[in-house]
Chain A
Amino acid sequence: MFYRLLTLNWRIFISNLNRFQLLLTIGYILFLGIMLVNLIGTAIVVVLMDSRPWMQVELPWLTPDIYKFILLVFGNAYWLMHFSFTNMRLLNIEENRKLLGFGFPLKRLAKYLTIIGFCHPVNIIYNFTWVVFLMIQVDFAYQIPVGLAAIALNYVLIYSVKHRFIRVVEKRFIAVVIGFLFLIFGLFQLVSLFASNSSRIFAEFIPQVETVNYFLGWLPGGLMIQTVTVEYGWLNAGIIFVFSTILVGLTVIDHFNKTKEGLLNPGLKKAEEESSKLWLFLRKVLGRNAGKYYFYVMKHPYNRLQVLTLTVIPIVYVPLLLNVDFEIAKTILIPTILAGIPVALLAMGMANMYGYENREFLLHLQFPINLEKQLKERFLGVIVLPLLVFYLITVFELLVIPKIGSPLQIFVANTFFFLMFMLLFVWSSYFQYQRATYSSFSYKHPIIPQKVTFAISFLIFSMGYLVFVPLEGLEWYRLTIMSTVIVIMVIYLWRHMEVLVNLFKNRVLMRLWNEL
């Protein structure tokens, strides 16, 4: 039965890949490979850095205490990374749930899904790095089983805590997000304070490094290191090993029960009455078609999160970067971040243009509604908000940070950015079409898959360099090229407004019928 389950999931995975996504998947695999090598490489360097004689010559400040401090900081930072990047999403539970209706026993299905869930490649990479990191520090044979048990326990605990955390996020979404953003803001302020007072802090800190090490040793990463560096004897090792194994078992059973519960309760909810002033407002401002579309986009919690993040990120980053004595930060990073905001808003609205409220499109066949009008209003409605933000940002840049370029440069660069991504999202909503009531940025049901989101972020920053890096005498060449491309894109969009309708008719309409 396990084989059949794998067959089904392989089929689901493969059939959802188009050529573009296949390319991205190859890129993702390469990225994972690089990540594995980097993580293991760093772990080995950190562990072995004090054992090389030339290191002691080159780095005389590397006393045993400082070395231990570095090791503990790495261990704890790595643990934090492990916690953040532990991936919970591997299988499509809704599709796998169908197996219950075809003679697949619940217990067995839940068991297999639990096992497969634990085997996400990213999670395996992190755990393998722990194995390498800890095993090269082992002094006594009894530390090996204890270290391995600690790695297993650490992983299942992270998995379990994260699973519960996601549940809490679903229930108290806005509160958690605001809390999280404040935490990030606080963290940046702390780093900024630390950076500006580093020499004084270090002078006071070095004599007390032993105390700090003691404290770090009891944090999760420190505890992991302790399992292979402390002498505790065979008897204690046996006790710790048995205790850890029992805990691992209990946590796995708990997760198995949660999976079982999830399979039998597919999130059916009792009907609740809903009314919205937002809908009335949007209908009034944007019209019936665009208003209704935007209402569905904005109603989704992940899109709200997106708006919130887009508001907070510049508030945190831009003042920080403005205070940094690093010219590139001002000339490239700030304008790139700011130009990325309307792009993200565009993605939010446009990435799944045919997906939201898609049955409405069938109405043109039944009612006296014009499909072209419907689609164009939807398209234009989506552009309004990003365009407004685009102009506000451009004016902000001209008034507050004029050193990034002349008004013409700023305007042309931002327009270029905006139009490039607008085209990308129009195509994306076509190629990535899915029936959806969820968002383009949902980590649970991504319309733009994580790989594409990753690629877009990469593209934004690459384009930032391309568009905003100072070119001195060659600036006019770049301006000419960008202006030409802008004109071509505007003409393309203007002449191909019907492309929206054609895309819909050629591809989406057929699928809509099938979904009825």
Chain B
Amino acid sequence: MERAIEIKHLVKCYEDEPVLKDLNLEVPKGNIFGLIGPNGAGKSTLIGVLTGLLSFEEGSVAIHDMELNARNELEIKKIIASVLQPPLLFEQFTSLEFIEYVCEIYEIDKDGLVEKAYSLMDFFDIKDFAKIKINKLSSGSRKKLAFVTAVLVEPKLMLLDEPFESVDVISIERMKTVIRRLKEKGVTIIITSHILEVVENLCDDIAILHQGKIKAYLDSVSRKELQKDSSLHEIFEKYVEIEKKDQIVDWL
């Protein structure tokens, strides 16, 4: 199996407080990979580390067989695109300027770029905002713009941190279509989300992250086996071991 990502014994701390604790994970190439976990589990931190926005204290991260370090950083970044939560956008640019600016950094061929950008923006109903400053956009449009930009830089690995949050249902379906199309092209996509139904339908493999560690890795085979008797929701509850609170508060 070819791996898009290989993480070994990863430790990431905030002020000496470990957020990711000896985390190990392997993601196969060309996979739509779902990363789920309760709030504060460390999902966004992990995405931040993979994107190169956050440093880590211990362990190693390899992307497409290249160790994530200063020497390989540029090569690695050229093949990664990300949509973070909240999305990273330069507020003072217009949507189109932003796309062009980011594509220039990725050294994407300028020929036909604007047409491609317009068609994708049109697909997500944000074409009208092409010449509007980003700081005037709604949170849903911002998310869609970040997604469109990520697609346009033609990555081999896409990191999507809660990509469907604040996005309308129609656009969510369109995003899913694009994600599936990218998979067909061989792109690896990592998605974090709280919407288990979306993850269940869209992802090939799923990992459950809790308290900074991978509690379970469900590949397509083990998922089939496990989901014979229980739903993903039940599996999630089992691994996350959240205290059961069946009884509603008395006064209610």
Contacts and interface: CB of A to CB of B under 8 A. Distances in A.
Interface of A: 1, 4, 7-8, 11-12, 14-16, 95, 97-108, 261, 264-266, 268-270, 511, 513-514, 516
A29 B27 CA distance: 55
Given A265-B55, A514-B135, A516-B139, A104 B92 contact: no
Size category, B interface = 20 to 34
A11 B88 contact: no
6 contacts: A98-B88, A101-B84, A102-B106, A104-B105, A105-B77, A269-B15
A496 B63 CA distance: 61
Contacts of A101: 51-53, 82, 84, 88
B92 A12 contact: yes
Contacts of B137: 514
B78 A103 contact: yes
A102 B102 contact: yes
B74 A105 contact: yes
Contacts of A266: 53-54
Contacts of B77: 103-105
Interface of B: 14-15, 17, 51-55, 70, 73-74, 77-78, 80, 82, 84, 88-93, 101-102, 104-106, 135-139, 153
Contacts of A265: 54-55
Top 7 A-B pairs, shortest CB-CB distance: A264-B55, A15-B92, A103-B77, A98-B88, A270-B17, A105-B74, A101-B88
B51 A268 contact: no
Contacts, number: 77
B43 to A, nearest CB: 15
A95 B53 contact: no
Contacts of A97: 53
Contacts of B139: 516
B105 A1 contact: yes
Contacts of A511: 135
Contact of A95 (B90, B101, B153): B90
A266 B15 CA distance: 11
A9 to B, nearest CB: 10
Contact of A103 (B92, B136, B153): B153
Contacts of A4: 101, 104-105
Given A103-B77, A103-B78, 18 more contacts: A4-B101, A7-B101, A11-B92, A15-B92, A98-B90, A99-B105, A101-B52, A101-B53, A102-B105, A102-B106, A103-B105, A104-B77, A107-B70, A264-B55, A266-B53, A270-B14, A270-B15, A514-B136
A16 B104 CA distance: 24
A103 B139 CA distance: 23
